[in-house]
Structure 1
Amino acid sequence: MSEFLSTPPSQCQVLIIGAGPAGSATARWLARAGVDVVFADQQPLGRDKVCGDGLIPDAHHALDRLGLLDRVMAKAQRSAHVGCVGPRGGRIDVPGHLAVLPRKQLDEILNLGAQEAGARFLAPARFEAALEDAQGRVRGARFSIDGQPHEIAADWVILATGAVPKALTAAGMCERHTPSGVALRGYVRAPSMVGEIKALEVVWCKPVQPGYGWIFPAPDGSFNIGVGVTDSHQDLAGKGQKKDVNLRAIFDAFVAHYPPARRLMAEGELIGELKGAPLRCTLKGARWTRPGLLVTGEAAGSTYSFTGEGIGKAMETGLLAAEAILAHRGTADGFDAQVRAQYEQGLRALQPKYDLYERGNRVNRFPWLADLLIWRAKKSPRLLQRMSGVLNETSNPGNLVSLKGITRLFLE
């Protein structure tokens, strides 16, 4: 049965499926406006989620809008730089407003924030299918709760189920079953290295090509260490096929290549197991809307392919969905087209930025570009400022690695 509801509800105004950053942010925003919201998840509160846990400026901004930034920062490990490390060992520290908080804690803060605003949380509840009327408009969803079927009617359904495509497929929204990339991470407790690794370190090297490795300082003397590989799957005649990617082998190669990673694994204690997860990027791979239903967060591909950052954009897309519903409150049927149009317009406004970050993804495919950028950034305050702008979303990452951009590196 529900963890927070003694009796599962039979109806609501907005039903949100998924209680990660996108779902919980949407639930809090709508509930604060007086909307009757139920948000459901197949996992109970306190579930672990595979993630790099990095909170860059867009996440700070979304948390501030939600009124939850202070609660998050009270528990997070703050950092002032991203340490970019190239294949030849060169390094540049790029300034930014940054923090790290394990997703288990972040998601709990967001979830409780939504409940605090009046949203009702239902878990564990596994989504099975969308409920449709005779015209094909989504009118709610069917769940499995304690092995028994249960239906919830709703004016609107929001799908915020993350990168795994099963829910998208069940709702008729999946256009690409394979992920955009894959990642593997673990937590290591290493008090001896606290103070030595202060930045969110991102490492490009041949062993992890076409991806990157990372070490992020987390709270309580622990570190999030992992590897991410972009373009991990290829699309063959509409059917995805995984390339020759062995994440554990890539992780071991990263540890062997990068001395701080090698020392971390040697001196520290691995907390739990290394865990992998898929990534859905570039706002592609799923339909965004259908009558009565909106797709948001990583289910809609909200993660940036270049940086792998997805927490902030998941919340941002969730807020776009909530704002679209609030802007056209009234009967669901009468405002269906307007809600969908506003939401899709909001996502389309983000699309050029995702395309630019996809261009910046060349650094992952060609690590020598990282060496070039680091070499020049050490000599050019203007270039360092532009790299900081990539974190703050005020600079175009694609321009840094375009032919014109590379030419400018030798002129600045």
Structure 2
Amino acid sequence: MPPEMSSPPPGASQAEAPPRSPLPPSCDVLVVGAGPSGSACAQWLARAGVDVVLIDQHDFPRDKVCGDGLIPDSHAALQRLGVYAEVAAVAQRVSHVACIGPRGGRVDVPGSLSVLPRRQLDDILCRAAVNAGARRFTPVRFEAPLRDGGRVVGARVRQGGDAVHDIRSTWLVLATGAVPKALLAAGMCERQQPTGVALRGYVKNDAMAGRITAMEIVWHQRLRPGYGWIFPCRDGVFNIGVGLAHSHRKLRDGRRVMQDVNLREVFAAFCDAYAPARELMAGGTLQGELKGAPLRCSLEGARYSEPGLLVTGEAAGSTYAFTGEGIGKAMETGLLAAEALVAGRRQQSGDAAVQSAYDASLRALKPRFDLYERANRVNEHPWLADLLIWRARRNPAIVRRMSGVLDETRNPGSLVTLRGLTKLFLPVR
């Protein structure tokens, strides 16, 4: 499924593409992919005085299929990168996530939340990297890594439709997202199939602007093993979509095949089963087309590093399985890659030390991703959402526990284990 929309949502800024400049022959670090992970990595490196070249296959601003939701980990990363105020000035502030069960029960979970289309968010992050000193070149497509004696020493790239160029670099960072083409070319891909898939569109419906004010997530039997969402943007525009976790089932021979699910049919079922979605689509105007994209989750599916090369962001699986949220962790993993490279540069460490530091930092995050994998059973068994919402509406302490999952102070998996379900029927303080 193509990850780009054919046209931007209304109100999206139009900016002239930067003039095409000759690609440099070399740099300290070449970052491939100028999304949240790549831009965060490039900015942090440039701040430290590293000569960074940042390339992307698209000119900016460009659109990206996503739910556009920014939760607390996203806000924390944006603050570290110094762009939180700029993002907050154009994002739609949201005070709650609305969890809605198959029987219509609803509980509002408070949190530090906002919604901003990726076209705007990614442009802000990319410009911040350039302002910090990174050299950006677009559109430039990654073809393959350059190797010398078993070590990656740069990349072969193609600028626009021109001939290929070789850029030599001390380190190459792949922040190329969920599409595995770059991982395959670099020999870093361990699983070509995605973890999940999603379909979303933008709808303008001014009449619904005052009615849908939370980030609504909906579970229903007809959406199994996934969920639907409606997130409010600014100016009467809404991001509406459906996500399918564990979209590929594993066969006995180890191969993975797509489940027999049509996302457009799931989207239609969402609109039929959930009245606000039906009203939003019936009375609104679809901006562009419904577009799909793969998801790579749970820090699985790729090797993290080899000499001269680091893999970060969704290419490394930085999206949470349960919620499909990946923006915050993409930035976080990009920063971890930059920190490992900066520390190695200052300490004049070899490849092994940089790789070890980076791999260890991702392994330290892995248990949290595993908890979200465990919580993913709610998508497979929506009745769990009904049970949780029913109890939460009767016990504010459970709502606080759910809020803790949002800000990463509580274990999401504990809500749906046997022990966690038992606790739902016990007094909670």
Could you say which TM-score interval applies, normalised by the shorter chain? over 0.9
Q: Which amino acid aligns with 2:156?
A: R
Q: Structure 2 matches for 1:96-115, cutoff 5 A? A: 96-115=111-130
SS at match of 1:63: helix
Alignment match, 2:329: 313
Alignment match, 2:310: 294
Q: CA deviation at 1:48?
A: 1.0
Q: Structure 2 matches for 1:7-406, cutoff 5 A? A: 7-134=22-149, 136-145=150-159, 146-236=161-251, 237-329=253-345, 334-406=349-421
Distance, in Å, in 2 between the alignment partners of 1:349 and 1:198 is 35
SS at match of 1:284: coil
Q: CA deviation at 1:207?
A: 1.2
Q: CA deviation at 1:68?
A: 0.4
Q: Which amino acid aligns with 1:209?
A: R
Q: Is the 8 A contact 2:21 2:137 kept in 1?
A: no
Distance, in Å, in 2 between the alignment partners of 1:321 and 1:397 is 26
Q: Which amino acid aligns with 1:180?
A: T
Alignment match, 2:9: none
SS at match of 2:122: helix
Q: Which amino acid aligns with 1:262?
A: R
SS at match of 1:104: helix
Distance, in Å, in 1 between the alignment partners of 2:257 and 2:86 is 42
CA shift in 2, pair 1:391/1:331, >3 Å: closer
Per-residue deviation, residues 133-185 of structure 1 (Å, max 9, x unmatched): 02x10000001122311010000000000000000000010000000000000
Q: Is the 8 A contact 1:79 1:200 kept in 2?
A: yes
Distance, in Å, in 1 between the alignment partners of 2:19 and 2:114 is 30
Structure 1's unaligned 5+ residue stretches are: none
Residues paired across the two proteins, number: 409
Q: Is the 8 A contact 1:5 1:121 kept in 2?
A: no
Q: Which amino acid aligns with 2:146?
A: L
Q: CA deviation at 1:52?
A: 0.1
SS at match of 1:388: helix
Q: Which amino acid aligns with 1:229?
A: L
SS at match of 1:328: helix
The TM-score with structure 1 as length reference comes to 0.98
Per-residue deviation, residues 34-61 of structure 1 (Å, max 9, x unmatched): 1100011111111110000000000000
SS at match of 2:230: strand
Per-residue deviation, residues 234-264 of structure 1 (Å, max 9, x unmatched): 2333432111010000000000010000000
Q: Which amino acid aligns with 2:152?
A: V
Distance, in Å, in 2 between the alignment partners of 1:41 and 1:245 is 32
SS at match of 2:98: strand
Distance, in Å, in 2 between the alignment partners of 1:243 and 1:194 is 35
Distance, in Å, in 1 between the alignment partners of 2:124 and 2:236 is 21
Distance, in Å, in 2 between the alignment partners of 1:9 and 1:240 is 41
Q: Is the 8 A contact 1:179 1:280 kept in 2?
A: yes
Query: Runs of 4+ in structure 1 displaced over 2 angstroms?
Result: 2-5, 235-240
CA shift in 2, pair 1:212/1:152, >3 Å: same
Q: Is the 8 A contact 2:203 2:285 kept in 1?
A: yes
Per-residue deviation, residues 108-147 of structure 1 (Å, max 9, x unmatched): 000000000010111111111000002x100000011223
Structure 2's unaligned 5+ residue stretches are: 1-16
RMSD: 1.1
Distance, in Å, in 2 between the alignment partners of 1:48 and 1:86 is 31
Q: Is the 8 A contact 1:3 1:124 kept in 2?
A: no
Q: CA deviation at 1:402?
A: 0.3
Distance, in Å, in 1 between the alignment partners of 2:309 and 2:18 is 25
The TM-score with structure 2 as length reference comes to 0.94
SS at match of 2:260: coil
Distance, in Å, in 2 between the alignment partners of 1:72 and 1:195 is 22
SS at match of 2:212: coil
Distance, in Å, in 2 between the alignment partners of 1:219 and 1:124 is 29
SS at match of 1:161: coil
Q: CA deviation at 1:382?
A: 1.2
Per-residue deviation, residues 94-117 of structure 1 (Å, max 9, x unmatched): 000000000000000000000000
Q: Is the 8 A contact 2:105 2:389 kept in 1?
A: yes
